[in-house]
Amino acid sequence: MLSSAWLLVALLSSSCCVAVPSPRPVTAGQSITLQRRAPSARSVEDWETWAQNERVFLTNRYGGSIPKKRSEGSNLLTNQNADSSFYGSLAIGTPPVSFDVILDTGSADLWVADVSCTIGCSRIAVFDATSSSTFKNLSQPFDVTYGSGEAVGSLAQDVVQMAGFSVPNQVFGAVDEVSNGLLTSPVSGLLGLGWQAIASSGSTPFWETLASSGTWTDPLMSFQLTRFINATNVQANEPGGTFTMGFVNSSLYTGSIDYQSLATTPSFWLLSLSSMTVQGKNITFSTGSSSYAAIDTGTTLVGGPSSAIQNIYAQIPGSQPGTGSWAGYYSYPCSTEVNVAISFGGPSWSVSPADFQLTQISSSDCIGAFFELSSGNGAPSWVVGDTFLKNVYSVFRYNPPAVGFAELSETALAMNGVTGNAPSATIGSVAATATAGTSGSSPNSASRWSIHAGTIIAALASLVGGVLL
Ligand SMILES: *[C@@H]1O[C@H](CO)[C@@H](O)[C@H](O)[C@H]1NC(C)=O
Ligand SMILES: *[C@@H]1O[C@H](CO)[C@@H](O)[C@H](O)[C@H]1NC(C)=O
Ligand SMILES: *[C@@H]1O[C@H](CO)[C@@H](O)[C@H](O)[C@H]1NC(C)=O
Ligand SMILES: *[C@@H]1O[C@H](CO)[C@@H](O)[C@H](O)[C@H]1NC(C)=O
């Protein structure tokens, strides 16, 4: 439904402005007499244009593909609350109004809080349907459940723009109820970058419309995420790195990108974990579907099966299972530099000791960023979030479906821990023409880990979607 309309728009915009000589129509059964034609008055350029358009037209009609004009976009990210989450910006409606949204490869719906949101929406910009001339209310209920909460509202359709791309009839949830703690000002909602198969709305995700229509130069998206967890004087919102659509930015990685095919038909971005070492020692974990890991930008930490997590901490002398609100986590001596490395079939990728060390809970003990995940309901056994993804350049490829990782470049690494202004909302190379509502003041960063840990713990028993904020 979405893709055909999008293709039409793409086709119109690519051929609107050239005078195209077209062959005379021939109706069925009519014979054409061969005749010598008078020399054409068309210039060589006219014929060239005609020939190119004819080729594109016929190739599209018969399902082939032809190289299209290069089409790539970037969105600068914001790192919220010392690596708790990473958000970007998009715009909805006519005229476009910009919103900050969590970029989440672990789910597949787009939603934003709307003006009627009374629960969980304080101090954020909200979507006002009455101020968009292209808004369409689909009048169907929308409800998405994540590990850390739920968003409820109704389905709508409007123009959505991001990083210079536009989908004229994107379905999204206009949400009026959000679980407490799911949104932290200034974030208004979430953009799911997983596959349609896991969309609560059943609609084609924004990215998938663009990837499948051949709009992008390369059918992929990528992330470079910054690290502030061990930096000093961290503000609530810091520069978060880069999200690209349609290309990989070769300034941000070195060497080659190692792609691994998805473990199942596309749903989550699911890879099979092939090996893991802690302090250089192999960790034993269940294989088969129990080793499937969702590669998830919307999850802060790394969750895995209890037995595997136990085996990880067994390699760290002095570690102990957490108690009380830290149940499911482990503590370990802060003085230990924990080196975890993970492989999904290709190279082994290291997680820095800084990312492993989530927070300090006593004079000597710290909490580790790998926790016990009780999965169920078809949720993946492992969820590999930002704790891991900050250490690599990550690529999410539509076709053939795969996730790729590469080493970060010096340029990318140099952005870690460098405090600065968070990027302002954009919908392309220019700032959005309008911004909704007020963004209010910054959250209290001193209490960030307790809030954060609380939502994760509440989520442990019932992980359904991919996001753990
Ligand atoms: C869409 O219509 C439903 C009723 O069918 C209403 O409850 C909802 O508020 C409307 N949404 C918007 C964003 O106007
Ligand atoms: C690639 O990343 C570098 C470093 O952030 C940036 O300067 C450059 O503009 C990016 N290139 C593109 C095409 O976005
Ligand atoms: C760990 O296991 C991998 C295979 O999964 C093997 O190639 C490697 O040699 C093992 N490393 C150690 C230190 O035992
Ligand atoms: C933070 O951790 C990274 C990765 O281990 C390290 O390179 C960097 O020096 C650390 N920064 C500080 C301020 O300790």
Please report whether residue 450 resides in a domain. no
Q: Known catalytic residue: 104?
A: yes
Please report whether residue 175 resides in a domain. yes
Q: pLDDT at residue 347 above 60?
A: yes
- The span from the CA of 380 to the CA of 382, in Å, is 5
Please report whether residue 346 resides in a domain. yes
Q: How far is CA 228 from CA 83, 153, 155, 206, in A?
A: 6, 34, 36, 29
Shared domain for 155 and 105, answered yes or no, is: yes
Shared domain for 147 and 208, answered yes or no, is: yes
Range of the domain at 82: 76-225+422-439
Q: pLDDT at residue 320 above 80?
A: yes
- The span from the CA of 98 to the CA of 389, in Å, is 26
Shared domain for 254 and 395, answered yes or no, is: yes
114 lines ligand 1 (CB under 6 A): yes
Confidence band of 444 (pLDDT split at 50, 70, 90):
very low
Question: What residues flank ligand 2, with Cβ below 6 Å?
Answer: 74, 242, 249, 251-252, 411
Average pLDDT, the chain: 81
Residue 69 confidence (pLDDT): 60
Q: pLDDT at residue 11 above 90?
A: no
Residue 428 confidence (pLDDT): 61
Give 150 Cα–ligand 1 centroid separation in angstroms. 18
Please report whether residue 359 resides in a domain. yes
Shared domain for 426 and 400, answered yes or no, is: no
Q: Cα 244 from chain centroid?
A: 10
Shared domain for 380 and 287, answered yes or no, is: yes
Closest CA to 189 of 141, 124, 122: 124
Q: pLDDT at residue 403 above 50?
A: yes
Q: pLDDT at residue 172 above 90?
A: yes
Closest CA to 312 of 345, 295, 336: 336
Shared domain for 108 and 218, answered yes or no, is: yes
Both tokens assigned to 383: 């969820």
Residue 16 confidence (pLDDT): 25
Give 442 Cα–ligand 1 centroid separation in angstroms. 30
154 lines ligand 1 (CB under 6 A): yes
Confidence band of 17 (pLDDT split at 50, 70, 90):
very low
SS3 call for 16: coil
Q: pLDDT at residue 395 above 70?
A: yes
Confidence band of 134 (pLDDT split at 50, 70, 90):
very high
Residue count (the chain): 469
Q: What is the pLDDT of residues 197-221, one digit of tens each?
A: 999 999 999 999 999 999 999 999 9
Residue 184 confidence (pLDDT): 93
Q: HEC profile for 303-341?
A: EECHHHHHHHHHCCCCCEECCHHHCCCEEEECCCCCCEE
Catalytic residue among 104, 158, 218, 386: 104
Shared domain for 274 and 376, answered yes or no, is: yes
Shared domain for 174 and 96, answered yes or no, is: yes
Number of neighbouring beta carbons within 10 Å of residue 446: 7
132 lines ligand 1 (CB under 6 A): no
Shared domain for 329 and 432, answered yes or no, is: no
User: Which residue's C-alpha comes closest to atom 14 of ligand 2?
Assistant: 74
Q: Known catalytic residue: 355?
A: no
Q: What is the pLDDT of residues 254-286, one digit of tens each?
A: 999 999 999 999 999 999 999 999 999 999 999
3-state helix, strand, coil in the chain (%, to 5): 20, 35, 45
Shared domain for 275 and 393, answered yes or no, is: yes
Task: Report the phi/psi class of residue 248: left, alpha or beta, with left for phi > 0 and alpha for psi in -120 to 50.
Answer: beta
354 lines ligand 4 (CB under 6 A): yes
For residue 390, give the CATH number of its domain: 2.40.70.10
Q: pLDDT at residue 438 above 70?
A: no
The enclosing H or E element of 281 equals strand 281-282
Phi/psi of residue 457, nearest 5 degrees: -65, -45
When divided into structural domains, the chain yields a total of 2
